[in-house]
Amino acid sequence: MSAIDDLPPLSQVIATHGLSARKSLGQNFLLDLNLTAKIARQAGDLTGCDVLEIGPGPGGLTRGLLAEGARRVLAVEKDARCMAPLAEIAAANPGRLEVTNADALNLDLRGQLTPPIRVVSNLPYNVGTELLVRWLTPPNWPPFWESLTLMFQKEVAQRIIAQPGAKAYGRLAILAQWRADVRIVMELPPEAFTPPPKVHSAVVHIQALSEPRFPADPKILSQVVAKAFNQRRKMLRAALKGLAPDVEDLIVAAGLKPTERAEQVPIEGFCALARHVQAARE
Ligand code: SAM
């Protein structure tokens, strides 16, 4: 196995700094640096990009991102025990790595990043979906990021890429695919991590489109989709009751059948419905 940098192996880093994994922080570390470099490569050409990494832990993926030529990595890690090993990586890569010891849910680093910006993270499972939804729902589009390359448990990855008719199709698929291209680029078994989690994992690459695939007001679309999937087994006319007066007429005007179920409706159909709901409310 060829070394990706001159720093010690991660097993040694973890032993030196006493980084026993904490379940409460979703700590499942990647120790194979060739694997972390491979994940970094899924984000595309990093040279000339600022990279935002949430949860660097002992720094396996961080080292992969730097080895793959990222211009600068900004990393946010909640666990103070990881600051010393991350400082060693920063010292070996002068001016290219900045680490903040904070909870990523309470911190907005956008002001410190220079475009083009890519987000690459092996996310802690407990906050992964929350962060993804925030990144997918900024006040304006295009967002601050060009792409998101994120590790999730496989079941969440499948919800992001799901197509109409699939069991996993729902709010997350529509949020992501309305304004981005999405695909699973890697799958990892539990044994790839230390300690191994109970579930399989997958890396999803999400590339922002310059504008939404179909026009719709984001807030109204979000309301329509949330209501439709809140009772996903119900027909649209029942699930969407109360969304607007005469909702059944709006469903028909949008080219949909009132007897259809949300899981059958493509994104284009939800966008058309959102436009009709907006017009009816104005
Ligand atoms: N990136 C490392 C790797 O691939 O080996 C660690 C990944 S581990 C799945 C998730 C990391 O996120 C842990 O280091 C954990 O301490 C950190 N973390 C958990 N919750 C966090 C939060 N709210 N904000 C920032 N980091 C968090």
Summarize pLDDT for 252-277 with one digit per residue, the tens. 999 999 999 999 999 999 999 999 99
Q: Is residue 1 part of a domain?
A: no
Q: Please tell me the distance between residue 205's alpha carbon and the centre of ligand 1 in angstroms.
A: 19
CATH code assigned at 191: 3.40.50.150
Distance 78 CA to ligand 1 centre (A): 7
Stretch 100-126: mean pLDDT, rounded? 94
Q: Please name which of 144, 215, 211 lies closest in space to residue 180, comparing C-alpha atoms.
A: 211
Query: What does the pLDDT look like over 117-153, one tens digit per residue?
Result: 999 999 988 899 999 999 999 989 999 999 999 999 9
- Residues 115, 254, single domain; the answer is no
Distance between CA atoms of residues 77 and 107, nearest Å = 11
Domain boundary at 159, 174, 208, which? 208
26 and 64 co-located in one domain: yes
Same domain, 74 and 35: yes
Q: Residue 229 sits in a domain of what CATH number? A: 1.10.8.100
248 lines ligand 1 (CB under 6 A): no
Identify the domain boundary among 187, 208, 229.
208
Same domain, 67 and 179: yes
From the CA of 22, give the closest atom in ligand 1. 16
Residue ranges making up the domain that contains 246: 218-281
CA–centroid distance, residue 56 to ligand 1 (Å): 6
Given 178, 208, 238, which residue is the final one in a domain? 208
* 1-26: pLDDT as tens digits: 468 999 999 999 999 999 999 999 99
Specify the residue with its C-alpha closest to ligand 1, atom 17: 55
pLDDT given at position 2: 62
240 assigned to some structural domain: yes
The total number of structural domains that make up the chain: 2
Pair (198, 268) in one structural domain: no
Q: Are residues 44 and 97 in the same domain?
A: yes
132 lies in the same domain as 272: no
